[in-house]
Structure 1
Amino acid sequence: MPTAGYLKRLTRRLTEDLGDVDAERIAEESKATGAQRASDCTRGEEVTMHGELRAVETCSRTAKAGVKAEFFDGSDIVMLKWLGRNRIAGIEPGRKVTVRGRLALQDGHKVIYNPYYELQGSDDE
């Protein structure tokens, strides 16, 4: 009975936490690209991950110049830090990106310094 299955999926979508739905969607996209899951990566590994930028911050003070972005792949958060840059075109919240670099830990949080990145098409395109 296909109607029961449809109603079950619809009820699940209406009652699920939006953050969980979003994380599930991002995780499925990441898995489809063959990228590594951030939650499975450990310090010192060379990683390639696919996900979304949730927040981007620029700091133009001379001693701490750089761009910081919160990257989320549906399994964990990784901070991306580009040192010595005031702005990077295309690095903006909501943008899908594939990143590659060596994973480090800073204050117990995962971080990649100066990652290589590939911007993916935006949702509008």
Structure 2
Amino acid sequence: MATDDQSDRSGLRRLLKRLTASDQELESEELRRDSAKPGCVCADTAGRGDVVNVAGRLRMVVYTPRTNLPTLEAELDDGTDVITLVFLGRRQIAGIEPGRALTARGRIAVRDGRKVIYNPHYELDASH
């Protein structure tokens, strides 16, 4: 059981951390809290070949026209790392837009040093 003095010091440490943290650090911390969902893993712990559920917020969505197969790519950030969701043969998907919170499921691949899930199953967060 923590004493009042220990609780006060712990609270002071948290306050000092918030005051000295960069905007990016604070945003990442908030994303980690918001992305913590039952059954989901943190993106930074996901490795090649793992089948995972990850939750986060879409940072960027880009349509890439290709001659043989167009793709829609979305960067999912959970505050620990980014996983690129690649939807093959799609030009757009309703609800897949920057700022949108969602949960995605699929097998992690690595392309050009980045974590990728091809054609993930996904569920849009209803709070958006």
What is the identity, as a one-letter code, of the residue corresponding to 1:121? Answer: A
Is 1:79 aligned to 2:84, yes or no? yes
Runs of 4+ in structure 1 deviating by more than 6 angstroms, as ranges, are none
Task: Report the CA distance between 1:23 and its aligned residue.
Answer: 0.7
Give the stretch that moved more between structures: 27-36 or 88-97: 27-36
- Provide the rounded CA distance (Å) in 2 between the counterparts of 1:122 and 1:16: 28
User: Is 1:89 aligned to 2:94, yes or no?
Assistant: yes
Which deviates further from its counterpart, 34-43 or 86-95? 34-43
Instruction: Please report how far the alpha carbon of residue 122 of structure 1 lies from its aligned counterpart in structure 2 after TM superposition.
Output: 4.2
In the TM superposition, residue 15 of structure 1 has moved relative to its aligned partner by: 4.0
Deviation per residue, 1:60-119 (Å, 9 max, x gap): 344240100011011001111000011000000000000000000001110000000000
* Match for residue 50 of structure 1 among 46, 55, 60: 55
List gaps (5 residues or longer) in structure 1: none
* Conserved 8 A contact 1:95-1:122: no
Q: 1:71 to 1:55 in 2, by over 3 A?
A: same
Q: Percent identity?
A: 43
In structure 1, C-alpha distance between the alignment counterparts of 2:112 and 2:65, rounded to whole Å: 22
Q: Which runs of 5+ in 2 are unaligned?
A: none
- Max radius of gyration: which structure? 2
Q: How many residues align?
A: 122
Equivalent residue for 1:112, pick from 90, 104, 117: 117
TM-score w.r.t. the length of structure 2 is 0.82
- Opposite residue 35 of structure 2, the aligned amino acid is S
Number of the residue aligned with 2:36:
31
Q: Secondary structure at the match of 2:93?
A: coil
Residue 69 (structure 1) aligns with: 74
For the residues of structure 2 that align with 1:86 and 1:15, how far apart are their CA atoms?
Answer: 42
- In 2, Cα distance between the equivalents of 1:121 and 1:111? 24
1:16 corresponds to which residue? 21
> Residues of 1 paired with 2:76 and 2:39: CA distance?
17
Paired residues of 1:53 and 1:70 also in contact (CA < 8 A):
yes
Return the alpha-carbon distance in structure 1 between the equivalents of residues 81 and 17 of structure 2.
23
| In structure 2, distance between residues paired with 1:60 and 1:122 | 31
Kept after mapping to 1: 8 A contact 2:37/2:55: no
